[in-house]
Each structure stands twice: as structure tokens, then as C-alpha cells.
Structure 1
Amino acid sequence: MRGWARVARSALPVALILGAVACTGDLGGDEDTGGTNPSGNTDTTVQQGRYSGLPEPCGAVRPETLAELLPDAEPEVYAGDPLATYDTGRRVGCDWRHADGSDTQRLTIDFLRVISYEPEVSDDDQAERDFETRAAEAGVTITGEESGDDGGDAADGGDEDGNADQDDPSATGGTTTDARELDGIGHVAFVEDRLTSDDAGDRRDVTLAFRNANVIVTVVYSVSTTRPDPAPDSSQAQAHAETVARQLAEGLDG
């Protein structure tokens, strides 16, 4: 019996050592773990997006700008209505609308924070892909980040990039669209100017979208009228949309 006790005592340290090895895994080995370390984390860390949150949208546009875009509106109009979203950490927006007799002005802004769910794709890269897709749907080819070409003057309705540019439809009825890339707003931007005319009147919708890192911002300024006067001015509507977009871009960087 004393002999068996000595064997048991001598085997105990060995069992403890083997148990420790089993708990910690292969010490010093080069076994392929499929791109993960023993704790389960991936070896490759993809850079997260620059922005981890979004601003309060209804306070993102300056009061004097709202007064210019929506003249003579009631104070509650300038307060704006938040857009309903499922996750305010991912998407927020605000809407302002003012009707004055035969004329109606409306401003809508939307912030979308892009998150990549592909391990090898960063949030910023995914946002770049999504933005280029949106631009393509509007008929705009994005030439590159922070392009030196300003895409032409917003007032001339020009088409230096070969994007859609049709005759004014207000005389015959129908819809025309002018879309092009813009410079100087965010990392990259484009504008789409759509004029719709029918027997009920004329409506101009200017959509300006830009991207800053992993956030895509969309500004829509709409002006409609039932008067027989000329259609809402393109240069003025685009200038208003650009003013709002620049303020939102500055707010993101602030």
C-alpha cells in the first residue's frame, strides 16, 4: 500500500501540468486556427468608420437658412418634424414643409451611418461603394475623391460629365432631369435637379447627396407652384440645397 501511495503522489504533478496544457491549447505550436486566435478574435482588424454617431437632425440647419428656404412660415414649421427610423444610431432625418397659397416649399435631410458587415471591408469603404451605387442610379459617374472638377456652374444647367440634361418641360409637360458630380462638399457629392410639369403646375426637386467617411447625407429641397408663372428657378433651388449641404458637412467635421 505504501508503494501505491508513492506512485500516486509522484503522478499528481504530471497530471496537473497536462491539465494546464489542455486548458491553454497548443503552446508555441503553429496549428492553423482559421484566422482566429485562441480567444476567438480575428487576426485581421478592419478599421471602423470615422463616425460612431449622428447629429440631432432638426437642429442641424441654421435658423436663418430655414427662414430663407421656407419664407414666412410659422414658428412650428421651423422646428421641423423628425423622420421615423428604427435605429437613430444608424439613421436620422428631419422634414420641414411650408405651404403658402399656390406655392409650397419643402426641405428634407437624411443622415445614414454605414456599417460594413464584411470582415475584410471597412465602414468607409462600404460607404464609398453604396454612394457610388446611388450616384449611378441618378445617372452620375463618380470620377474620384475630392475631384478638382467642380462639375460646372449650378446655374447653367450644363452637362460636362455627360449626365442627363433635357429641355425645359414646362412648355410641353413632362419631366426633365439634370444630374452631375459636385466638388467642395464632403469627400464626394452629386446633385440631381428634376423638374416636373403638368396641368396642375410645376414642381422642382433638387436632391443633393454627399459622403463624409462612413456617413452619407441627402438633402432634398422641393418647390412647387400652381401658378401659370415660369417654373421654379433651377439655380436658386440648387443654391439653397448647396447651402444646407455645406452646413451639414461642416457640422459633421465640427
Structure 2
Amino acid sequence: MRGWARVTRCALPVALILGSVACSGGGGSEDTDGSDTTGDTRTAAGQGRYSGLPEPCGAVRQETLAELLPGADPETYAGEPLATYDTGRRVGCEWRHADGSDTRRLSVDFQRVISYEPEVSDDDQAERDFEELAAEAGVTITEEDSDDGPEEGGDGDGGADHVSPNLGDSTSTAARKLDGIGHVAFLDDRLTSNDTGDRRQVTLAFRNANVIVTVVYGVSTTRPEAAPDSSSTQSHAESVARQLAEGLDG
């Protein structure tokens, strides 16, 4: 992840993200209306929906962590904050647990996008940034065709009960756009193998207004009989992403 430097923790519940200001560390200060105090002259219409970010290590429910990292201790479930220059702009957390021949890792990254071009709103800049992120994964995002917000109830093709098909153990399953998570989302599932074992990593990114969220869930194994399953790994990543998207709108 780009832009990480030092750790500064704050304690904002996810539900307070609307109209709130996260604590900031080292990267400048912000007013409660979400505008920077460094000469930002944008109109209110140009400012993004979100003016703060949640405390990332508290953004994933404990029961969800227990499913993704079975058998871990309470210290592991507490998570490790990822270093950042400014927690008002970007925050993240990582959880890692090794159990015998298997190692599981989960990370979440929240980025609040701010446009410094007067004619470009924060949301529009976030849309551009997300399209670039998707393109790097090989996914073409046409946001004009997406909904103005998340689907009600989070159902549909990408609903809460949706389980991705088992795409097998290919080195890279086709990255694709997802429905029902945030305003727009995509998923990238990759399997790598070497002499020591196999590792499957699922990256799921979504955008809500001017916030881009990235979930990465990976499973590594040294067991020779089977590579980590694509379907269950994707399902776990989707479960976390839906939870984070609901938290942003809570």
C-alpha cells in the first residue's frame, strides 16, 4: 500500500463517519465541514460526502475475524494499525495468524479522496482514482452505468448471501466488477505457487462517494494436497467488504 509512514491511532466508531472528522496525524488539520485549513476555497458542492474515516482496527466485527482467522488469540484479533502520514486522509489495519501449515492475513485500507482542482469535486476525483485502480487490476469500470448508491439491502447479484463460484486453482482468475458493494466495486483473485506451497490472495476494492476501501484477504499453505479454495477465500473477502460498506452508511 502506498503512502504509509508512521502509526497514529484514533478512536472514531464507523457510524460517526458521516459529518465527522477523524483525528489527524502529521499531515495538516481539517475543519469540521471536511475542508482543509490550508486555503481550500472549494464550494460545499465540491466537497465529498465523507469528512472523516473510521478507526480501522475496530471496523471488522470480532465474529467475522474469528471466521477469517480461526484459532487466533485476542491480541491478534485486536489488529495492527498500518502506518500513515495523516489519519484524516488514510487509515488501515492488518490481522495475521499462522496455524500449523496455514497462514491467513487480512488487511483493510480506507482512503478519503480530496480534490485540489476547483472544478473537480472530491467524489469525481475519487471516481477517477478508482477507475485507475481497477484498470491496474485489468477491470474496466464505467461508473456512469452504476447506481448512485449501494443497492438496498445489499442484495442482487452481489447480495449478502451471494457466494462466488469456485473458479478453480488457476494462477489468476479473471478480475471482475462486482454489484451490491458500495457505489462500485471489483474483485481480483490470484493464486501463486512455489516449492514451499501455495498462496491465494483476494483483493476487493470499492468506492463510496469520496472514500475508496480496499480489502485484501490471503491464505497460504504448505500442505501439498490442495491449494487454498477460491470460493471460500472470495466469500470471506466479500463478507468483510459488505460489512465495511454498511459501516460507512451506518
How far did 1:44 drift? Answer: 6.6
Report the equivalent of 2:196: 200
Given that 2:169 and 2:229 are in contact with CA atoms closer than 8 Å, whether structure 1 keeps it comes out as no
Kindly provide the CA deviation profile for residues 96-147 of structure 1, in whole angstroms up to 9, marking residues without a partner as x.
Answer: 0000111000000000000001110000000000001110110111133239
Which residues in structure 2 correspond to 1:212-227 (within 5 Å)? 212-227=208-223
Amino acid in structure 1 at the alignment position of 2:221: T
1:155 to 138, 160, 165: 165
Given that 2:163 and 2:235 are in contact with CA atoms closer than 8 Å, whether structure 1 keeps it comes out as no
Name the CA shift for 1:67/1:124 in 2 (closer, same or farther; >3 Å).
same
Amino acid in structure 1 at the alignment position of 2:73: E
Name the CA shift for 1:86/1:227 in 2 (closer, same or farther; >3 Å).
same
TM-score by length of 1: 0.74
How far did 1:42 drift? Answer: 6.8
How far did 1:153 drift? Answer: 6.2
Report the equivalent of 1:67: 66
Cα distance between partner residues in 2 of 1:235 and 1:187:
23
Given that 1:46 and 1:121 are in contact with CA atoms closer than 8 Å, whether structure 2 keeps it comes out as no
Kindly provide the CA deviation profile for residues 161-211 of structure 1, in whole angstroms up to 9, marking residues without a partner as x.
Answer: xxxxxx734xxxxx3242000000000000000000111100000000000
Given that 1:186 and 1:210 are in contact with CA atoms closer than 8 Å, whether structure 2 keeps it comes out as yes
Name the CA shift for 1:43/1:197 in 2 (closer, same or farther; >3 Å).
closer
Cα distance between partner residues in 1 of 2:101 and 2:233:
17
Given that 1:46 and 1:119 are in contact with CA atoms closer than 8 Å, whether structure 2 keeps it comes out as no
Report the equivalent of 1:161: none
Report the equivalent of 1:54: 53
Report the equivalent of 1:237: 233
Report the equivalent of 2:22: none
**Structure with the higher fraction of residues in helix conformation:** 1
Cα distance between partner residues in 2 of 1:184 and 1:136:
20
Return the index of the structure with the highest Cα Rg: 1
Name the CA shift for 1:132/1:62 in 2 (closer, same or farther; >3 Å).
same
Cα distance between partner residues in 2 of 1:168 and 1:251:
33
Cα distance between partner residues in 2 of 1:187 and 1:104:
32
Amino acid in structure 2 at the alignment position of 1:168: D
Query: Aligned with 1:132: secondary structure?
Result: helix
Amino acid in structure 1 at the alignment position of 2:147: E
Which residues in structure 2 correspond to 1:1-254 (within 5 Å)? 46-143=45-142, 144-146=145-147, 150=157, 154-157=164-167, 168-169=169-170, 175-254=171-250
Query: Aligned with 1:130: secondary structure?
Result: helix
Amino acid in structure 2 at the alignment position of 1:154: S
- Considering only aligned residues, what root-mean-square deviation do their CA atoms show, in Å? 2.3
Given that 1:146 and 1:183 are in contact with CA atoms closer than 8 Å, whether structure 2 keeps it comes out as no
Cα distance between partner residues in 2 of 1:44 and 1:250:
28
How far did 1:41 drift? Answer: 9.8
Name the CA shift for 1:67/1:168 in 2 (closer, same or farther; >3 Å).
closer
Query: Aligned with 1:89: secondary structure?
Result: coil
* Unmatched 5+ stretches in structure 1: 1-39, 158-166, 170-174
Higher relative contact order (CA 8 A, sep 6+): 2
